[in-house]
Amino acid sequence: MSVLQRDPQDQVRVLDEDGTVVGEVPDIDDETLVEMYRYMRLARHFDTRAVSLQRQGRMGTYPPLSGQEGAQIGSAIALDEQDWMVPSYREHGASLLRGLPLKQTLLYWMGHEKGNEMPEGVNIFPPAVPIASQIPHATGAAWAKKLRGEDDTAVICYFGDGATSEGDFHEGLNFAGVFDTPNVFFCNNNQWAISVPRERQTASETLAQKATAYGIDGVQVDGMDPLAVYSVTKAALDKAKNPGEGEGRPTLIEAVQYRFGAHTTADDPTVYRDDEEVEKWKAKDPIPRLEAFLRETGRIDDEAVEAIEEDVKGRVADAIEAAESDPRPDPSEMFNHAYAERTPEIQAQYEEFEALREKFGDEGFLRE
């Protein structure tokens, strides 16, 4: 029986909090398992450094992901090369795994448009800041793949628990059900939409059960158990591409997890939640859980862990160096991409702008 065929209130787990196997270990080769661990470490270290850059005034407001690495990496690593990802604004780890260089993520949060320019071959939509607004896009993208007969392709969409309250969530999932689109709707239920707890978003027992109303499958998974996340995401992707007799393509996955840090660096979570709760969830930290499993099964040892730590530090340091040494965007770039070609009015505004820059220099514009 598929891992998806269960009561939405019954949470899928593979590892317990100590990394001991309590469920069915998915079929993943050793190398991929170690990569999963490496990327989770990379995401965590990146996150720590990014928060620190913001604190030092080297980057703008940034949304941290610590605690959510298991959900991001465990799901993204299940995608095939041709699959697409439609993120919210917190998927730095999943985006990295799917080929978006860390430098790009840094540039975006440093306020450079270039951060939104996905490299060729990276199948990721730009991060969506307005909550849930990306969900219908994911349905449309998957629908396009189906209409064009590209049956080997699925689209995963990430969003949070708060997003399930928005109309776009309903409309996106409803279309997916009606048109049977190859979608995986991956809800990172991290318990808090800024200061508003999950219980204030919906009176539903679970978020996964909302799938029932759309006529699609819903499954709840321990989102801090990367192996369980992999299992359900893989099963959902397979079903999206090759549904069995009587099966629908789309799936809603509710990955139950916790954000250890603030909503963004502009937020102070101590105002609305207590340390005791945070500590309770930190005991479920996905990184030591996977590490314990990998050590226990002989896939990594101290030496390997140290090598990974070194690698991770180097890659993040290099990315920061690259982002900070990237030239400031030329101000005239803001006139370049509103349309395929500048309209006469935009051209006139551009010329006026350049004349002002010529006359006053950058000091004529920059504040402080």
Partner 1 sequence: MSSQNLTIVQAVRDGLYTEMNLDDEVLVMGEDVGKNGGVFRATEGLWDEFGDDRVIDTPLAESGIVGTAIGMAAMGLKPVPEIQFSGFMYPGFDQIVSHMGRFRNRTRGRYTLPMVLRAPYGGGIRAPESHSESKEMFYAHEAGLKVVIPSTPYDTKGLLISAIRDPDPVIFMEPKLIYRAFRGEVPEDDYTVPIGEAAVRREGTDVSVFTFGAMTRPTLEAVENLEEEGIDAEVVDIRTISPLDRETIVESFKKTGRAVVVHEAPKNGGLGAEITATIQEEALLYQEAPVKRVAGYDVPYPLYALEDYYLPSVARVEEGIREAVNF
CB 249 within 8 Å of CB 183: yes
Q: How far is the CB of 90 from partner 1 (least distance, A)?
A: 12
Q: How far is the CB of 226 from partner 1 (least distance, A)?
A: 27
Among residues 108, 143, 158, 258, which is the contact residue for partner 1, using CB under 8 A?
A: 108
Q: How far is the CB of 65 from partner 1 (least distance, A)?
A: 15
Among residues 92, 112, 146, 284, which is the contact residue for partner 1, using CB under 8 A?
A: 112
Q: How far is the CB of 88 from partner 1 (least distance, A)?
A: 12
- 248 phi and psi angles, rounded to 5 deg: -95, 160
In three state form, how does the secondary structure of 181-233 look?
A: CCEEEEEEECCEECCEEHHHHCCCCCCCCHHHHHCCEEEEEECCCHHHHHHHH
If residue 85 lies in a helix (H) or strand (E), which one and from where to where? strand 84-86
Among residues 147, 196, 213, 317, which is the contact residue for partner 1, using CB under 8 A?
A: 196
* Shorter beta-carbon distance to partner 1: residue 112 or 234: 112
Q: How far is the CB of 355 from partner 1 (least distance, A)?
A: 9
Q: Is 111 in the site for partner 1 (CB under 8 A)?
A: yes
Q: Is 162 in the site for partner 1 (CB under 8 A)?
A: yes
Question: Contacts from 335-338 at CB under 8 Å and sequence distance 24+?
Answer: 337/113
Q: Is 213 in the site for partner 1 (CB under 8 A)?
A: no
Alpha-carbon span 230 to 14, nearest angstrom: 10
Selecting among 38, 112, 259, 289, the annotated active-site residue is: 259
Q: Is 340 in the site for partner 1 (CB under 8 A)?
A: no
Q: Which stretch binds partner 1 (CB under 8 A): 145-153, 281-289, 317-325, 353-361?
A: 353-361
Q: Is 129 in the site for partner 1 (CB under 8 A)?
A: yes
Q: Is 210 in the site for partner 1 (CB under 8 A)?
A: no
Q: Is 178 in the site for partner 1 (CB under 8 A)?
A: no
Copy the structure tokens of residue 129: 């800041």
* Shorter beta-carbon distance to partner 1: residue 93 or 127: 127
Cβ neighbours of residue 332 closer than 8 Å, sequence gap 6 or more: 350, 353, 354
Taking Cα atoms as reference points, which of 135, 158, 140, 60 lies closest to residue 105? 60
146, 147, 163, 172, 180 from 168: Cα distances, Å: 21, 22, 8, 6, 17
* Shorter beta-carbon distance to partner 1: residue 37 or 214: 214
Q: Which of residues 84-103 bind partner 1 (CB under 8 A)?
A: 89
Q: Which stretch binds partner 1 (CB under 8 A): 109-117, 136-144, 181-189, 221-229?
A: 109-117
Dihedral-angle region of residue 106 (phi above 0 means left; psi in -120 to 50 means alpha; beta otherwise)? alpha
Active site residue 272: yes
Copy the structure tokens of residue 270: 């101590």
Q: Which of residues 9-68 bind partner 1 (CB under 8 A)?
A: 60-61
* Shorter beta-carbon distance to partner 1: residue 26 or 162: 162
Q: 10 Å Cβ neighbour count for 363?
A: 6
79, 102, 141, 143, 152 from 149: Cα distances, Å: 19, 33, 13, 10, 9
12, 85, 91, 349 from 129: Cα distances, Å: 29, 15, 12, 28
If residue 131 lies in a helix (H) or strand (E), which one and from where to where? none
Active site residue 137: no
Alpha-carbon span 61 to 110, nearest angstrom: 8
Q: Is 331 in the site for partner 1 (CB under 8 A)?
A: yes
Q: Is 207 in the site for partner 1 (CB under 8 A)?
A: no
Taking Cα atoms as reference points, which of 71, 122, 116 lies closest to residue 94? 71
The site map against partner 1 for 242-281 (x = CB under 8 A) is ----------------------x-xx---xx---------
Looking at the annotation, which residues are catalytic?
259, 263, 272
Q: Which residues bind partner 1 (CB under 8 A)?
A: 60-61, 89, 108-113, 115-116, 127, 129-131, 162-163, 165-168, 193-196, 200-202, 264, 266-267, 271-272, 328-329, 331, 333-335, 338, 343, 345-346, 349, 353, 356, 359-360, 363-367
